[in-house]
Amino acid sequence: MSVVNPTVKRKRFFLEKNTRRKLIIASRQSRLALWQAGHVSTTISLLYPQYEIDILGMTTRGDQILDRALSEVGGKGLFVKELEMALADGRADLAVHSLKDVPFALPDGFALAAILEREDPRDAFISNSYASLEAMPDGAVIGTGSLRRQAAIAVRYPHLSVMPLRGNVDTRLAKLDRGEFDAIILAAAGLKRLGLEQRIRAFIETDLALPAPGQGALAVEIRHDRDDLRALFAPLNHRATAQAVTAERTVSALLGGSCQVPLAAHADIDGERLRLRATLAMPDGSSIIRAEAEGAAAEPEALGKIVAESLLAQGGGGMISLCAEKSGGDA
């Protein structure tokens, strides 16, 4: 048996301690956001065990303002602004976001360094009384904070009453359990990440209602000048997910990218081919238009442009103008 000289052991410990590096992740303080930040932290640690990683929990304006629609107070970007401030002033090295909360056009000085492999992008139906949307009777109340979901329900289930619902996952489930709603709609990805899949009574398939652009994907944001982090996080990027959500977010960007617009978009990738579908609707379900395109997965922006132009050619511009006069949000 070999014996390591104590002096060598002390020297090795000193070197390891002093070569250890630190990263700080900025995150919202909701249970789901902290899970997501922890997931990214674990992924980084597996790749780079020499890094010590801390999470800086923050409360954003989007978390604080729950009595008004997001479109009335600044849109979904309110969930990321405070985190970007932490990046800008050096309190954090990276921020972790739900991609559907991230505006397509980032503020100057910031960049997305990686988009992780997507979780289930579908919406989920949750109820303590009914097994599905189809089983709900006339006048039953369903809660959602999303104009997109509101419009999808109005188109197919006009007999249901849709009421606004804001707050994090736990807050929304608590409101359901108190009997304030007969059912609610949430993103399946968040429920699965929190181990709450048993609350899902039914998944809303994409053939019935498309999800929000980027739904189910996580994004890592950094300062644009941090080339060191851009290279460090490159292995976290999931190519197929990045291609799919780029196509979806391109549609959103070309149509205004606002939470005032009930826009849905979803891309499926099969090998090197990408199929992109999108819908644009009036919140009351009185009108809906659809577009679809298929092409090379390596050209997601081009496909996004084709689909956006198709929606506009069908009258999408007029619908967007009407929607802009109303309030709402997607969560």
Residue type, 228: D
Judge residue 106's burial from the number of C-beta atoms within 10 Å of its C-beta, 0-12 exposed, 13-18 middle, 19 or more buried: middle
Residue 1 in any domain: the answer is: no
Tell me the pairing of strands 218-223 and 94-98.
Answer: antiparallel
Q: Which residues of the chain have pLDDT under 50?
A: 1-4, 8-18, 62, 64-75, 327-331
Half-sphere exposure of 288 (CA within 13 A, CB side): 21
Residue 281 in any domain: the answer is: yes
Residues paired with residue 269 on neighbouring β-strands, in sequence order? 274
Angstrom distance (rounded) from CA 247 to CA 308: 10
**In this structure, are 15 and 113 located in the same domain?**
yes
**In this structure, are 79 and 12 located in the same domain?**
yes
Judge residue 39's burial from the number of C-beta atoms within 10 Å of its C-beta, 0-12 exposed, 13-18 middle, 19 or more buried: middle
Does this model's pTM top 0.75?
yes
Residue 211 in any domain: the answer is: no
**In this structure, are 114 and 33 located in the same domain?**
yes
**In this structure, are 144 and 286 located in the same domain?**
no
The predicted pLDDT at position 91 comes to 95
pLDDT tens-digit series, residues 201-252: 999 999 989 999 999 999 999 999 999 999 999 999 999 999 999 999 999 9
CATH (domain of 155) = 3.40.190.10
225-229 long-range contacts, Cβ below 8 Å, gap at least 24? 225/109, 226/93, 226/113, 229/93, 229/94, 229/113
Residue 73 in any domain: the answer is: yes
Instruction: Say how many domains are in the chain.
Output: 3
The predicted pLDDT at position 321 comes to 84
Residue 246 in any domain: the answer is: yes
CATH (domain of 299) = 3.30.160.40
**In this structure, are 35 and 98 located in the same domain?**
yes
Longest dimension (CA), the chain: 80
Task: Quote the Cα angle for 68-73-75, to 5°.
Answer: 105
Concatenate the DSSP letters of all residues of 59-110 into one string.
--HHHH--SS-HHHHT-GGGGTHHHHHHHHTTS-SEEEEEGGGS-SSPPTTE
3 state DSSP class of 180: coil
Residue 151 in any domain: the answer is: yes
Angstrom distance (rounded) from CA 77 to CA 88: 16
Q: Which residues are catalytic?
A: 101
Rounding to the nearest 10 degrees, give the CA dihedral for residues 317, 254, 291, 145.
Answer: -80
Rounding to the nearest 10 degrees, give the CA dihedral for residues 97, 202, 185, 99.
Answer: 20
**In this structure, are 129 and 268 located in the same domain?**
no
Mean residue pLDDT across the chain: 88
**In this structure, are 97 and 225 located in the same domain?**
yes
What tokens appear for 183 in the block?
């059912």
Distances (CA, A) of 59 to 34, 65, 85, 144: 12, 11, 12, 22
**In this structure, are 134 and 112 located in the same domain?**
no
The predicted pLDDT at position 78 comes to 61
Give first-to-last CA distance, the chain, whole Å.
61
**In this structure, are 101 and 221 located in the same domain?**
yes
Residue 253 in any domain: the answer is: yes
Look at phi and psi of residue 315 and say left if phi exceeds 0, alpha if psi is from -120 to 50, else beta.
Answer: left
The predicted pLDDT at position 261 comes to 80
**In this structure, are 246 and 310 located in the same domain?**
yes
* Residue 96: domain span: 6-118+217-237
Residue 212 in any domain: the answer is: no
**In this structure, are 31 and 85 located in the same domain?**
yes
Tell me the pairing of strands 21-28 and 202-204.
Answer: unpaired
Report the candidate in 237, 119, 135 with the shortest Cα–Cα distance to residue 186. 119
**In this structure, are 242 and 274 located in the same domain?**
yes
